Copies of this chain bind each other. A is one copy, B any other.
Amino acid sequence: MERLKQFITKEGTVINEQVLKVDTFLNHAIHPQLMKEIGEEFSRRFGQDGITKILTLESSGIAPALMTSLSLDCELVFARKRKSITMTDHLYTSSVHSFTKNQVSDISVSKTLLQKNERVLIIDDFLANGQAALGLIDLVNQAEASVVGLGIVIEKSFQPGREILEKKGFRVESLARISNLTNGKVTFLEPIKQSY
């Protein structure tokens, strides 16, 4: 997705060879028009797949997932990293290991909000080592629903997430794929086509 890559090039900050900061349009500030276009692009890619529900993870997944659910006209649920005071239901819970934070955290979703036989599209802002994606897939499996695919805004293709997911047979659609962050610079697998 060219416009997303242009945003990354113009506004992203390479913190180190592993970490890209996109706080001005995706992770902290959010660019609403870009999110709308991201939702439309995921909708184009998954529009024929009979998606009944979108599952994402708070907080940074919510904006692209909401715009996708609006475009696909399907329901949206976000897994929580902490238990809410109103989460009195039984929960599906999975553990996610974060390499960057070097910690394990639980993610969960109310059982009533993920039904058997649903066709689920997982949306997330980043794909790196695939651990958050695997946690979300685990929640869907616990519900006996199907993962139709994963829609990722930014894939760090130099990390093993995509390979892990594809080896398990999952379809991964990433809107921007980054081959490396060396020399303080973002390099995409496919170069940008237009000027910003």
Contacts and interface: CB of A to CB of B under 8 A. Distances in A.
State the oligomeric state as a number of copies: 2
B78 A59 contact: yes
Interface string A87-109: 11100000000001100000001
A62 B76 CA distance: 13
Contacts of A113: 23-24, 28-29
A75 B27 CA distance: 13
Interface stretch (A30-38, A136-144, A153-161, A183-191): A30-38
A90 to B, nearest CB: 13
A66 interface: yes
A76 to B, nearest CB: 5
A17 interface: no
A84 B29 contact: no
A73 B100 CA distance: 34
A28 B85 CA distance: 12
Contact of A30 (B35, B36, B78): B78
Nearest 9 Cβ contacts at the A-B interface: A58-B59, A21-B86, A32-B70, A29-B77, A32-B69, A59-B59, A30-B76, A62-B62, A29-B113
